[in-house]
Amino acid sequence: MAYNEAVARRVSKALSKSGEFNEKKMFGGIAFMLRGHMCCGVLGDNLMVRVGPEGYETALSRPHVREMDFTGRPLKGFVYVEPAGFSSEKDLRSWIAKATMYVRSLPAK
């Protein structure tokens, strides 16, 4: 599955201020890594966000969000956000903030 390069550029631009992130092509999409952990990514037109187990149910209750089920089984702690859920820069930054906050709580790899 290809990824939307325009969405990937938006995510990369939002993350560029920190300088801690690197990009890695995986799952047919692109993942943005922080401290060796997958933080967020783009798969097709969707934003993939790592919200962690504690933030999972809350994230799923938001509009335009569904389970990340890349393998056919939901991956707990990760969600897909459809384009309508991150159409504004404010919404995109909010999702990225959730992901980075969770990943920064993990030990570095």
Query: Long-range contacts: 95-99, Cβ < 8 Å, 24+?
Result: 95/40, 95/47, 95/49, 96/11, 96/14, 96/15, 96/39, 96/40, 96/49, 98/49, 98/51, 98/55, 98/59, 99/39, 99/40, 99/49, 99/50, 99/51
pTM of the model: 0.93
17-45 pLDDT, tens digit each: 766 899 999 878 999 999 999 999 999 99
Report percent pLDDT > 70 for the chain. Answer: 97
Q: Which CATH class is domain 5-104?
A: alpha beta
Domain ranges of the chain: 5-104
